[in-house]
Every structure is written in C-alpha cells, then in structure tokens.
Amino acid sequence: MRFKLPLAIFILMVGLLAYGLGLDPKKVPSPLIDKPAPAFSLASLHAPQQQISNKDLLGEVWVLNVWASWCVACRAEHEFVTRLAQMELVKVIGLNYKDRSVDAKGWLQQWGDPYSASLMDADGRIGIDWGVYGVPETFIVDKNGLIKYKFIGPINQGTLDSEIVPLLRELLS
C-alpha cells in the first residue's frame, strides 16, 4: 500500500499532463460566447474627440480585432486582417490594446490600416472586460450584440477560410 498510492497519483498526473498537452491552446472556451458583448465607449485612435461605443454597432455583424504595435504576432496576422477587411463583408474594428497612440498610428501608417475604426484601450480595461488573454485576439459579434466567436492568437488564411468567413456569411444571411 505504501507504494501503490504514490504510483496511482503519479499515473493520474501523467494522464492529466498527456491530456493537457493534447489540447489546442487557441481553443480556450470563452464564457462570453452567446452573451452580450461587454459595453464600451472609447476614443477613436485617429479622432480622439470621437467616441465609439458598442451601441453604435447594434444591428450589424462586426469583427473586433485586438492588436498592439508592440505585438509581434499582430504583425504576422495583419495581412489576413487586411484581407478580411477588403472582403467588405462586415466592419472590422481594431481595439488597440495597452499601447501609446503615437506608436499605434505609426504602426498602422507603416503596415496599412484595415480597420473601419481603431479604438484606444490604453489601460487595458476594455480588453479585460472582453476576456482578452493577450494579443492578438479576434471576436465576431452578431446583429443583436452577442459574441458568437473568439479566436486567440494570429488568424491566418486557413482560419479565415474555414472559420471566420463562413460564420460571417451565416450571420449575415
């Protein structure tokens, strides 16, 4: 008995570790799916006197892409955010997360600005409300203001083709 209990605990821990290693870190379930998008009213990056809120977007399907100029992975996904915006299916709203506006503007000037609007979340409070783990993250919000999708990490062409665009087309129909 003296060796059986530690052996059983060890086997259980190895099993849990093996299970955890098999999970996809981009598939973290969000408690916000099918719940109302958290409220926000934020200044526009390019027009700080202009406030944009989630209420302004009610009645339309839209994408929220959380990004920052200091985020290396955001640079990797930028080409695909741009492609999504160029499809003109829905508005793509950028949430600039924990960044300085001068850095964000410079980054968009250098790499291109695909966003219908870029909002400043300098202190990260809105990101926390949305359950942001880090950047980049992408959300899809339906016409009723409900979050229907969350993707953690940089989106790519496969994600666009197999998940994002089909869901947007479904929500628009």
pLDDT in tens, 148-164: 999 999 999 999 999 99
Query: What average pLDDT does the segment 67-84 reach?
Result: 97
Higher pLDDT, 43 or 28: 43
What pLDDT score was predicted for residue 2? 74
Q: Does the structure show a pLDDT above 60 at 25?
A: no
Q: Which of 90, 67, 78 is nearest to 137 (CA)?
A: 67
Q: Which of 78, 58, 50, 57 is nearest to 136 (CA)?
A: 78
What pLDDT score was predicted for residue 11? 82
The one-letter amino acid code at 27 reads K
Average pLDDT taken over every residue of the chain:
91
pTM for the model = 0.83
What pLDDT score was predicted for residue 42? 96
CA distance 138 to 92: 10
Q: Does the structure show a pLDDT above 70 at 53?
A: yes
What pLDDT score was predicted for residue 20? 63
Query: What average pLDDT does the segment 89-102 reach?
Result: 97
According to DSSP, the β-strands at 62-67 and 137-141 are antiparallel
Domains along the chain with CATH numbers = 28-172 (3.40.30.10)
CA distance 149 to 34: 8
What pLDDT score was predicted for residue 3? 76
Q: Which of 95, 79, 91, 141 is nearest to 116 (CA)?
A: 91
CA distance 70 to 104: 9
- pLDDT grade, residue 133 (50/70/90)? confident
Higher pLDDT, 27 or 9: 9
